[in-house]
């Protein structure tokens, strides 16, 4: 839903049907360092599949140390995904640090 994070947003011939309020999603955009992702402007978040992320990056998770996923990027940076109060893991673009997971 955040246009600022994507490049080349446009329509696609394929569509994604989500079993929630979003319904049919027919736009995609390029997420830098990741690739093409679905885009739904009226959504509450950009959604990235862990299954697709692990194909491109090393992802680590330790439920006892910090309860967060770390996406390890080749340049040494990390993207941290923490659980929300309802249990959905998310990465805050403005505050992407997990003090417990630092090496």
DSSP string, 36-102: EEEE-TTSSS----HHHHHHHSEEEE-TTTTS-EEEE-TTS-EEEEEE-TTS-EE--SS----TTT-
pLDDT of residue 9: 93
Residue of 12, 39, 101, 29 lying closest to 65 (CA atoms): 101
Same-domain check for residues 53 and 100: yes
pLDDT digits (tens, 9 = 90+) for 2-40: 788 899 999 988 887 766 666 677 888 998 878 888 888
CA distance 78 to 41: 26
Same-domain check for residues 6 and 31: yes
Same-domain check for residues 35 and 58: no
Same-domain check for residues 40 and 53: no
Same-domain check for residues 1 and 27: yes
Domain assignment of residue 74, given as a range: 48-103
Residue of 41, 49, 34, 36 lying closest to 8 (CA atoms): 36
Domain count, the chain: 2
pLDDT digits (tens, 9 = 90+) for 37-61: 888 887 777 778 888 889 989 999 9
Decide: helix, strand or coil at residue 34. coil
Please state the pTM of the whole predicted model.
0.68
Q: What is the DSSP letter of 13?
A: E
Same-domain check for residues 31 and 68: no
Same-domain check for residues 53 and 97: yes
């Amino acid at each position: 839903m955040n246009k600022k994070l994507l490049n080349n947003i446009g329509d696609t011939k394929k569509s994604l049907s989500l079993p929630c309020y979003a319904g049919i999603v027919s736009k995609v955009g390029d997420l830098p360092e990741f690739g093409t992702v679905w885009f739904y402007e009226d959504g509450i978040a950009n959604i990235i599949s862990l299954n697709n992320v692990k194909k491109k990056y090393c992802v680590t998770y330790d439920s006892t140390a910090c309860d967060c996923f770390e996406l390890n990027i080749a340049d040494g940076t990390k993207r941290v995904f923490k659980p929300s109060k309802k249990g959905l893991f998310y990465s805050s673009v403005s505050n992407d640090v997990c003090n417990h997971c630092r090496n």
